[in-house]
Amino acid sequence: MAADFSIEIQQKDDVSVLYPNGYIDFEARQSMVPTFHDILAKGGRKILLNFSGVKKINSMGIAGILELIEQATKSSAVVKYSNLSRMNEKLFKMIGLTEYGTVHESEDEALKEFR
């Protein structure tokens, strides 16, 4: 079944903005985690996850996002989330991901908060 996942990175000043696109499940985790690791390895310490292209996240995808948070915490990086759908924001609150990164309605709002 086609439910392809991709992830794009854009550097906006000192903020690395990640654009995951598609269904965040176990397969998505396999590309998100190394991408995130590369950013940290290159010294990125301000990371914004823009979820505008993500309609669904399942619990296996949540586990992958936890890996990102773990990596970020170990590297003293700051993570923010933007453009979460209503259901995905609800999931983030239920899991407790909002304790490890602030949620912003838009990318612009999140970028302003970083400055």
Partner 1 sequence: MGDTWTERDMSIRVELPTVFKNELVAEAVARQVAELSGFSEEEIEEIETALGEACINAIEYSKCFNDYFTVTFTATENFLQISVEDKGEGFSPEEVDHNPTISSKLNSEYKRGWGLMLIEQLMDEIQISQAEPSGTKVEMKKYKSTADQQ
Three-state DSSP at 8 gives: strand
Question: In the range 21-40, which residues lie near partner 1 by CB under 8 A?
Answer: 23, 25-26
DSSP per residue, 17-56: EEEEES-BSHHHHHHHHHHHHHHHHTT--EEEEE-TB---
What is the nearest approach in angstroms of partner 1 to the Cβ of residue 62? 6
Binding residue for partner 1, selected from 6, 10, 30, 59, defined by CB under 8 A: 59
Question: Should residue 41 be labelled a site residue for partner 1 when binding is judged by CB under 8 A?
Answer: no
DSSP per residue, 98-109: GGSSEEESSHHH
Binding residue for partner 1, selected from 8, 14, 38, 70, defined by CB under 8 A: 70
Question: Should residue 78 be labelled a site residue for partner 1 when binding is judged by CB under 8 A?
Answer: no
CB nearer to partner 1: pick between 41 and 94: 94
